[in-house]
């Protein structure tokens, strides 16, 4: 089974997905980014989910590619998360309005 088929990856498998990344980098990012909290195995090893892996990829992009400091990357991730939540709330509200308008049309 390759790592793309697994539900969880250990810290070494995650580090290997990013060129030049070491285990300690991931451990440091866990301290700096409270939303990065991989599960723990029975023996205490870190188990990263697909969501964790997406967050690691985003952090890697901001810190290693865009050369942002950890604090700046944290703010950017918070901003993006806020934007996503706002978009989701807009979609929900627009869906409600659409349903209301369709109901009004049907009653005419």
Domain residue ranges of the chain, discontinuous segments joined by +: 9-107
The answer to whether 46 and 11 have CB atoms below 8 angstroms apart is yes
Q: Mean per-residue pLDDT for 12-24?
A: 95
Residue 87's alpha-carbon distances to 79, 94, 96, in angstroms, are 12, 10, 14
Say if residue 104's pLDDT is above 80.
Answer: yes
Q: How many Å apart are CA 77 and CA 51, to the nearest integer?
A: 14
* pLDDT higher than threshold 70 for residue 101: yes
pTM of the model: 0.74
At 85 the pLDDT is 77
**Pair 49, 38: CB distance under 8 Å:** yes
User: Which residues face 47 on adjacent strands?
Assistant: 10, 39
pLDDT at 89: 81
Task: For 46-69, write each residue's pLDDT tens digit.
Answer: 999 999 999 999 999 999 999 999
pLDDT at 49: 96
Instruction: Using a pLDDT cut of 70, give the percent of the chain over it.
Output: 96
Q: Which CATH number fits domain 9-107: 1.10.1530.10, 3.40.50.880, 1.10.1660.10, 3.30.420.10?
A: 1.10.1660.10
Task: Determine contact, residues 5/11, Cβ cutoff 8 Å.
Answer: no
Bridge partners of 9? 48
């Amino acid at each position: 089974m390759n790592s793309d088929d697994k539900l969880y990856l250990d810290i070494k498998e995650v580090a290997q997905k990013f060129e030049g990344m070491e285990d300690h980098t991931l451990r440091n990012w866990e301290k700096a980014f409270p939303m990065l909290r991989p599960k723990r195995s029975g023996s205490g090893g870190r188990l990263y989910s697909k969501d964790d892996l997406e967050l690691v990829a985003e952090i890697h992009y901001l810190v290693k590619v865009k050369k942002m400091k950890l604090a700046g990357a944290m703010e950017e991730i918070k901003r993006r998360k806020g934007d996503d939540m706002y978009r989701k709330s807009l979609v929900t509200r627009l869906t409600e309005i659409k349903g209301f308008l369709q109901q009004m049309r049907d009653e005419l």
